[in-house]
Every structure is written in C-alpha cells, then in structure tokens.
Chain A
Amino acid sequence: MSLYRLVYYSENRISSSVADLQAEVEEILTQSRRNNALVGVTGALMFSSGYFGQVLEGPQAAVEATFERIQQDPRHGDVALLEFAPTDTRSFDTWAMAYVGEDSALFAHLGPETGFDSDKITGEALFNRLRAMVATNAAVA
C-alpha cells in the first residue's frame, strides 16, 4: 500500500474560551494518539486560536479514513486541502502536536509530551509553509 502525505489548513471553530480550547485539544490529542497509532498514521497538528494545520502521513486507505473522520468534525470548518499525494518518506516518525500563537505557555507541555520535534520543523515553519502554499495557490491533487 503506497504511502501518502496529506496537508490541510482549517478554521478553528472551538469557542474562544481558553478552557474550552484546552479541553477540546486534549480530547483531539487522546483520540488521535489512539487512532493514528492503530492504523500507522503519523504527522503533526499545529493550531492557534484561529486555525488548525495538519500533516497526515501513512498508508493511503488509513489517511483517507482518518481524514474522512476529521472532515466531519464540527470543531473546525473551511477545511482547505493543500496537498494529497504519494510520498516516499515520512517527515514525521510519530504523531505530534504543537501550539503556535499567542499564549504559547498554556500549551507548552504539548510539544515534549507528543514528541513534537521542534528541531525538525517548528510549528511556525509548518504554518509558514502552509501559508505559503495557500498564498501560491498550490495545486491540490
């Protein structure tokens, strides 16, 4: 089964209270950890109070099934698919999560906890990459 990489960008629709955001993010973390490990999906989720950005890597069917669930999640909307294509290598060994944006102290624990390797790619870097892709209107397969 060929390896695929998927990158999307979406609008955060979790109510703006920090407590809600924390609770929901914890929940997404738990769900993703459990489900993704089961089907061999790795990647990274970056979020701010306004946006989510996510990379999913894994067997095609697993990525498709995971994304289909994510698509129906009311916690976000306006999901913009930036990339969905076969890839030779994974750029993430595990499933990682990081917060980008103001108040980063609130979510500082997430990086170490999920193995988010800030040396490899920082949240900002990915977000910038996502943004750049949006700006240049990168083709979606």
Chain B
Amino acid sequence: MTNVKNSMASCCISELSFQSLCMLSPAEKLTTGRPSEGPDGSPPSVATTLHITHGVVTDVAGGPTDLFGGRAVPGKPLVDLLDEAEKFGFLPGGTAASINTALAARQSKQLLSLADGRSIMVATEFAAADDMTLHFVDVSFAVQMTLSQQRDVLTGLPNRVELLRRLNEHLASPASLPQTAVLYVDLDRFKMVNDTLGHPIGDALLKLVVERMQRLLAPKDVLARLGGDEFVILQAEGEQPHAAEVLASRIIEIVGRTYLLQGHSVQVGASVGIALAATDGKTPEELIKNADLALFKAKSAGRGTFRFFTDAMDREIQERRALEIDLRRAIIMQELSLVYQPQFEIDGNKLVGFESLVRWSTSERGSVSPAQFIPLAEETGIIDQLGEWVLRTACKEAARWPEPLTVSVNLSPVQFKSPKLVSIIVGALSSAGLPPSRLDLEITEGALIENTETVLLMLNQIKAMGIKVSIDDFGTGYSSLSYLQKFPFDKIKIDQSFIRSLETNADSAAIVRAVTALGKSLGMMTIAEGVETESQLELIARDGCAQVQGYLTGRPLAADAAAELISTRT
C-alpha cells in the first residue's frame, strides 16, 4: 500500500463521527454477519483482518482500504493499536474502548459508522482461549438497504414501517398517551402540479413541503411520508387537543404559501385529519386509520382545513360501506329502475322526449336518493357499471317510442375517465336499435374540468356519430361560459336554481334571459328544468326559452306510464 493511499484513508477516517453511529439502526438489524455485497454484486471489500494471540497482533491482512493506515503490524498489542488508531483519527473517538469492552464480553459483532457514510462491521471469531481473529468488514451496502426499508427515498423521511415502529414505541409508555396526537396531512392540488409541470418539479415541491413542515415540529415529533403526497405526523408532546389544533393550523397556513420552483410559482394546499392517542385508537394502525378518516372529512369540507376524528365519522364510514355493498348487489339483482320525465316544446306544447332518471329502492332501506348513491358510486368506481346499465336500459326503452322522441341520459364526469365510454355508448345504441340522433347525453361542467383535452376528444367522437350532447345544470359552475366556447353543445339546460328563484330574484331572471339569448346566437337550444308553476313557465317563455321540463308539465314516470303518455300525446 502506497503512502498516498494511506493518507487518503486517514483523511476519510479522521472525519469519523459518533453522531452517525448513533443514528444507525442497532447491529441486530443486520440479522446475520453475512458479509454484504457491493452495489454491483461484487464481493465485499474486507477492510482489514487482524489475528490476535495473547492480546498481540500476530497476523495482518489489509484489504483495499486498510483501516489502520499501515499501523497494524505484528507484535503490536491490540489495545495500543486501537488507541493509536483513535488518536490519529482512524477510528472515531470512544471506539477503542467499546471494541475492547465488546471483546472482553466475547461479543462477536459490533457496528461502527464512519463519517464518510461507510459502515464497518467488526466480526470476531473466538478460537482458543486467547486466540481470535477480527474482521473489519465494510457493510455499508447492507446498512443502506436496511435504512431504505425504513426511509422514504425521495425525502429521507421515515416510511410507514418506520412510523409504525416509532408509534408503537411511543405508545408503550402510558404517560405519553394524553399528550400524543396523530396528524394525517394530505396535499390539495398536488396531482395537478405533477400533471402540468412534471414529476421533477413535483418531487422538488415535496421536498420543500417537507422542509416547511419540519420547521414547525418539536424535536420529539416524527414526520413520515406514507407515499405520494400523504404524510403523517406523530406529535409526541403537547396539551391535547390544543397542541394538535395549533400544529394543524400552522401547517395549513405555511404549506399553503406560494412556492417558487425553477421559475414557476406553484400553489398547493394542505388538509389535515387528527386522531388523539388518548381516545381515538388503541393501536398505531387504528390511530392512523382514524386520522385518515378525519382527513377525508376535512377534504370533503372543502380542503385547506383540519378535522378531529369523531365516533360519528366511524359510524358514517361503516354505513357507507354497507351502502356500497348493497349498491353493488342492487346492480346485479336489478333493484335499480329508470323513470322518465317528459320534456316539452313550450311553443305548441309538444312532447319532444324524456330525461331518464335512476331510482333505487330496497325492502330494508326504502327508496334511496340518487343524491346519496350516485356520489358513492362515483367514489367507488361503481359508476361505470351503473352508467352502462342506465345507458342500455334507457336506449332500449326509447327504441319503443315513436320517432323522433329523444331520451336524455346523464353522464357522470367520472365515466369519462374510462376509455371504453364511447364504445359502451355505441354498444347501447346498437343493441337497442336506437338511431344515434334520438339519444341526448347530458354532461355537467365537472366533466370538462380535468383532462379537458381527452374529454373534448370523446365528446367530438360522440357528436360525430349524430348523438346529441347537452350541458346540464348550466350556470352553477365557475366558468360555464368558457365551456360553451370549447364545445358545440346541442342544448343548454338552465339550472333549476335559477328557475326556482325567478319570481323572487331579479338576477335569476336576468341570467335566464342572457342564457337564452346566448343559446340563440350560438345555435344551441335552451331548456329550463325544475319548472313548477304557471308563472315560472310564463316567465321563461317570455325570456325566449325553447323547452321545459318540470313538475308543472310532468313528473318522472315509470316506463309504462311514459308509454301511455306518449300514446295520448302523439
């Protein structure tokens, strides 16, 4: 070994620190003393092997990196060698003593950590009474692997496994229970950042978010990343629930402030769910689950806010689960049905078609409101199956009606996420034998908010086949007008909230007038829904609305009743 190499080795080793040793997992984590392989699968680099007889070095085999800088020579007492190595900075301070103690106790394994990041395992074979061989083995790779099983690679934070371990450890002392809270943090709009600016910026953002949160934590708190944009904080000490509330508000405020990343200004928000160790769960898993439930509530309360877990949330989730099971069964058991609400041309009072509306009733639940089960179907993905059933049933029914009566079918924004949507529509039409021009698909603005390009592509395909497309609940969203520009809808359905307040709110009347005028100039038909009184009908007629649907002109009817209405009206 040359002098240059020696001095290089010594300068690395002189930076040894105990801090990194303390941070390492205990040696027992390295389940066996099995020498680790290099990252490329190469054999481990044995730093040094010492053979000791009667406390004196008798044989030395130096690996590629001699830990002792050439000072390990036969004849030198081990105690002196270790002392020297420490003094000259080859080994971290205090290591000599701890190696000696371990050897005296005939402990065969010990882990040392060098400041340059290397981890050295001292593996000792005790042969005869006073005869032993010490292998100093570089086990950095194995240690790294162990750490990576505990840590999130991107942020270096503890992962779920490590969080559970720390929570377990923390909850083991009963005194800490009343002081402990688990905060589940989830970023709002993070997906949008990833989608629009790309993953590298998304990753950089996550790191900044972590830095901001870490600044808000107390020394004993633990911040873990469970994946994606989900984080959990173990708040270890505080007067609860006040401390958790303060921390949650601080996180929401600070994380919500603007980020600058590679020339972009980026805004995300945070929502937080909180579970208290004293009341909201006995195990770490249960606490995390309940904090997650509270988070769900915070998110549905409009994001950028926090919620404490309550027992009511738990009950609600159980009920939801039960409802979900029932709904899945209902689709299979055909417990769902469609009703049809007539639509008329105001001028001449002529029947033009029906809107199909889904109904569900069970013997135990009675009739369940669509406002309850449609969102559930959307969140659980049941909507695809449900939506297909509605399309097929409505088309089949409409095929029995005389030309040119149309059937309107509502499409959920979620259905546009399925690439099969267009072929499902085509399938429903062809198996019913219904001409495309007699199907009218109603979509809400919600469908156009995300993945607008893809959705527009699908809508254009649908329209090209001759199917009609209407915009539903018009005027309730934020940017209704801009959507009219993006797609040539056949019909605008003015939301019933404007109709209902027509007589009491001058603004509503103005909006209805403006929308009908707009429809005319864009070549789109306008229909008012929710019309309940004669005077409302008169007003919309005066304002130029072409069609009407509502209790006044006809309630939703079962298929047979709809057929009967048709026979009297045509």
Do A and B pair up? The answer is: yes
Q: Which residues of A contact B (CB under 8 A)?
A: 2, 4, 6, 60, 63-64, 67-68, 71-72, 77, 79, 81, 84, 86, 140-141
The secondary structure that dominates the B interface is mixed
A68-B208, A84-B265, A140-B265 known; A77-B260 Cβ under 8 A? no
Q: Is the CB of A71 within 8 A of B257?
A: yes
Q: Is the CB of A141 within 8 A of B258?
A: no
Residue of B nearest to A81 (CB): B258
Q: Is the CB of B261 within 8 A of A79?
A: no
Pick from A60, A67, A81: contact of B263, CB under 8 Å: A60
Bound CA–CA A79/B258 (angstroms): 8
Does B335 have its Cβ within 8 Å of any Cβ on chain A? no
A68-B208, A72-B212 known; A141-B257 Cβ under 8 A? no
Q: Is the CB of B259 within 8 A of A68?
A: yes
Q: How far is the CB of A77 from chain B (nearest CB, A)?
A: 7
Bound CA–CA A60/B253 (angstroms): 25
Does B220 have its Cβ within 8 Å of any Cβ on chain A? no
A81-B265, A140-B265, A141-B265 known; A68-B260 Cβ under 8 A? yes
Chain A residues in 8 Å Cβ range of B257? 71-72, 79
Extra inter-chain contacts (11) besides given A64-B262, A79-B257, A141-B264, CB under 8 Å: A4-B263, A6-B260, A60-B262, A60-B263, A64-B260, A67-B260, A68-B259, A71-B254, A71-B257, A72-B257, A81-B258
Bound CA–CA A71/B258 (angstroms): 8
Chain B residues in 8 Å Cβ range of A86? 263
Contact with A along B250-273 (1 / 0, CB 8 A): 000110011111111100000000
Q: How far is the CB of B215 from chain A (nearest CB, A)?
A: 6
Q: Is the CB of A77 within 8 A of B264?
A: no
Bound CA–CA A141/B215 (angstroms): 27
Q: Which residues of B contact A (CB under 8 A)?
A: 208, 212, 215, 253-254, 257-265
Bound CA–CA A71/B261 (angstroms): 13
Bound CA–CA A140/B265 (angstroms): 8
Residue of B nearest to A83 (CB): B265
Chain B residues in 8 Å Cβ range of A141? 263-265
Chain B residues in 8 Å Cβ range of A68? 208, 259-260
Chain A residues in 8 Å Cβ range of B215? 72
Q: Can you show 21 pairs from A to B with CB atoms below 8 A apart?
A: A2-B263, A6-B260, A60-B262, A63-B260, A64-B260, A64-B261, A68-B259, A68-B260, A71-B212, A71-B257, A71-B258, A72-B215, A77-B253, A81-B258, A81-B265, A84-B263, A84-B265, A86-B263, A140-B265, A141-B263, A141-B264
A81-B265, A84-B265, A141-B265 known; A72-B260 Cβ under 8 A? no
Bound CA–CA A21/B260 (angstroms): 28
Of A64, A81, A86, chain B has the most CB atoms within 10 Å of the CB of A64
Residue of A nearest to B254 (CB): A72
Q: How far is the CB of A137 from chain B (nearest CB, A)?
A: 15
Residue of A nearest to B212 (CB): A72
Pick from B208, B212, B254, B260: contact of A84, CB under 8 Å: B260
Q: How far is the CB of B522 from chain A (nearest CB, A)?
A: 28
Residue of A nearest to B259 (CB): A68
Chain A residues in 8 Å Cβ range of B253? 77
Bound CA–CA A86/B254 (angstroms): 26
Residue of A nearest to B215 (CB): A72
Residue of B nearest to A77 (CB): B253
Residue of B nearest to A10 (CB): B257
Bound CA–CA A71/B267 (angstroms): 12
Of A63, A72, A140, chain B has the most CB atoms within 10 Å of the CB of A72
Q: How far is the CB of A83 from chain B (nearest CB, A)?
A: 10
Bound CA–CA A84/B264 (angstroms): 8
Q: How far is the CB of A88 from chain B (nearest CB, A)?
A: 15
Bound CA–CA A63/B262 (angstroms): 10
Bound CA–CA A141/B266 (angstroms): 9
Bound CA–CA A79/B494 (angstroms): 39
Chain B residues in 8 Å Cβ range of A79? 257-258
Of A68, A77, A79, chain B has the most CB atoms within 10 Å of the CB of A68
Bound CA–CA A141/B264 (angstroms): 7
Residue of A nearest to B257 (CB): A71
Q: Enumerate the 7 nearest inter-chain pairs by beta-carbon distance, A residue then B residue, closest first.
A: A64-B260, A71-B257, A81-B258, A84-B265, A67-B260, A81-B265, A60-B263
Bound CA–CA A22/B169 (angstroms): 47
Bound CA–CA A64/B266 (angstroms): 12
Chain A residues in 8 Å Cβ range of B261? 64
Bound CA–CA A4/B265 (angstroms): 12
